Amino acid sequence: MTNLPNAAICLIGDELLSGRTRDINTRTIAKFLAPYGIPVREVRIVPDEQARIVEAVNALRAAYTYVFTTGGIGPTHDDITADAIAAAFGVSIGEHPEALKLLAERYAQMDTEFTPARRRMARVPDGASLIDNPVSGAPGFQTGNVFTLAGVPQIVEGMLGDIGHRLQSGQVVHSVTVRGADLREGDLAEALATLSDQFDGVSIGSYPWFRTVNDHGVALIARGADQMVLAKVSEALANLVRAQGVEPETLDGES
């Protein structure tokens, strides 16, 4: 298992920590990585402060196969991610000729002044390769095993299109979800623990939902690489729900 690739995400931005902005990039990146068999194993959210970004990126890049950072690569004074990544890797930072050309052409096309602030977006750590940004032009970049992406969700999605070919695939994990409306976790806990011990290589999670008094229940999710085994687990989970007098709802999916 130790040789299978995995990933961590480092979300950068005061606005996420203050609760002003609700993160959606974790979901986007996790769903993107699932078909490659690369599970996200940790997420950290850190403020727009160089020392904190450096600390998190260095901890994560040492512990995981791939690290994705989001946020802080725009043209304003609080966009410090490129400098922080260079500091984390202990390399210099400078204007990337290809990025500069790309940005200059884009602003010329838009008949918009290519200001010194906009020019900052061409700065990447030495040795980094660019990540194409089909949405707004200014590229992301890859430094070693760290992919530095924008913060705006639509741009993150766009940049992911230039990342798949750089990844080493692992073992795709499939999942089945069996939902039991009106049930509570305690109704199923004993039988579930027994079932969980019976199947190797499958992890079973229990997730209660509670929206209103009339809309609550338990979702049982089994994850594993072997779809034959997973099908058996799915049936066993469905029977467990049926034993409580509830007709289960079963969904298949990746991740």
Which residue number, 126 or 215, has a Cβ lying nearer to a copy of itself? 215
Which residue number, 58 or 129, has a Cβ lying nearer to a copy of itself? 58
Which residue number, 146 or 204, has a Cβ lying nearer to a copy of itself? 204
* Inter-residue contact 253 to 174 (CB < 8 Å): yes
165: phi then psi, degrees, rounded to nearest 5? -70, -10
Q: How far is residue 1 from each of residues 38, 201, 225, measured CA to CA in Å?
A: 12, 11, 12
150: phi then psi, degrees, rounded to nearest 5? -70, 175
Distance from C-alpha of 103 to C-alpha of 137, rounded to nearest angstrom: 7
Chain residues binding a copy of itself by CB under 8 A are: 13-24, 26-31, 34, 39-48, 52, 74-79, 112, 115-118, 120, 135-136, 152, 154-155, 175, 185-186, 188-190, 192-193, 196, 203-210, 221, 223, 255
Which residue number, 28 or 143, has a Cβ lying nearer to a copy of itself? 28
* Inter-residue contact 93 to 126 (CB < 8 Å): yes
Q: How far is the CB of 93 from a copy of itself (least distance, A)?
A: 18
Q: How far is the CB of 162 from a copy of itself (least distance, A)?
A: 19
Q: How far is the CB of 183 from a copy of itself (least distance, A)?
A: 12
Distance from C-alpha of 193 to C-alpha of 183, rounded to nearest angstrom: 16
Q: How far is the CB of 255 from a copy of itself (least distance, A)?
A: 5
